Amino acid sequence: MLSAVALRDRAAFETLYRRTSPKLFAICLKVLRDRSEAEDTLQDVYVTAWNQAATFNPQLSSAMTWLGTIARNRAIDRIRRRRTQPLDEAATEEIVDEAPTPAALAQLSEERQRLEHCLQALPDTQRHAVREAFFTGSSYAELAARMSVPLGTMKSWIRRSLMQLKSCLER
């Protein structure tokens, strides 16, 4: 079939595609792990097969091995391009720096100080529970077990503490 494709036989190319595309698509999908990219890569594989069919040597490998190697190499090339695509000038101008401005940092610092002040107004055990809940992501049950208190107590501490913090921060 590849010999006929080398002579630009469209019917042979169609048959080649029908017989080999599921396997080649699987190769592309396995390497890329993205259906859309695998479909695009598969198209590149068949364009290459159409253009390079005359270079196929059946004494070196089977047609499927030759096509499979093209598919694998195209997929790897696509991954490499994805990683190292340089930005053009227009794209660099459109990139937004999402880092806070100095003014925003100052305001965040003030808010942080207010939060710390309000946290200090809480009893030690409740302050510790709130910090643990928010900074470690621990659940009520985990906190209750860690601090050796009933689950209901932990829930009450956190709820009351958050209400006190809200009230303090609104002042």
Could you give the angle at which helices 63-83 and 10-32 cross, rounded to 10 degrees?
Answer: 50
* 148 domain residue, yes or no: yes
Model confidence pLDDT, tens digit, residues 92-134: 566 666 677 777 776 778 888 888 899 999 999 999 998 888 7
What CA–CA distances, in Å, run from 37 to 1, 31, 45, 69? 27, 10, 12, 17
- Check if the beta carbon of residue 49 is closer than 8 Å to that of residue 67: yes
What is the domain count for the chain? 2
Arithmetic mean of pLDDT over the chain: 87
Mean pLDDT of 48-65: 92
Q: How confident is the model at residue 84 (pLDDT cuts 50, 70, 90)?
A: low
The model's confidence at residue 150, banded by pLDDT at 50, 70 and 90, is very high
Check residue 157 and give its pLDDT: 93
pLDDT digits (tens, 9 = 90+) for 22-55: 999 999 999 999 999 999 999 999 999 999 999 9
Q: Are residues 51 and 7 in the same domain?
A: yes
The domain in which residue 135 lies consists of: 116-170
Query: Are 9 and 81 part of one and the same domain?
Result: yes
Reduced to 3 states (helix: H, G, I; strand: E, B; else coil), residue 150 is coil
Contacts of 8 (CB under 8 A, 6+ apart): none
Q: Which residues contact 42 (CB under 8 A, 6 or more apart)?
A: 21, 24, 25, 28, 71
Q: What is the CATH number of the domain that holds 54?
A: 1.10.1740.10
d(CA 145, CA 147): 6
Q: What is the pLDDT, as a whole number, of residue 112?
A: 81
Do residue 18 and residue 81 come from a single domain? yes
Same domain flag for 16 and 81: yes
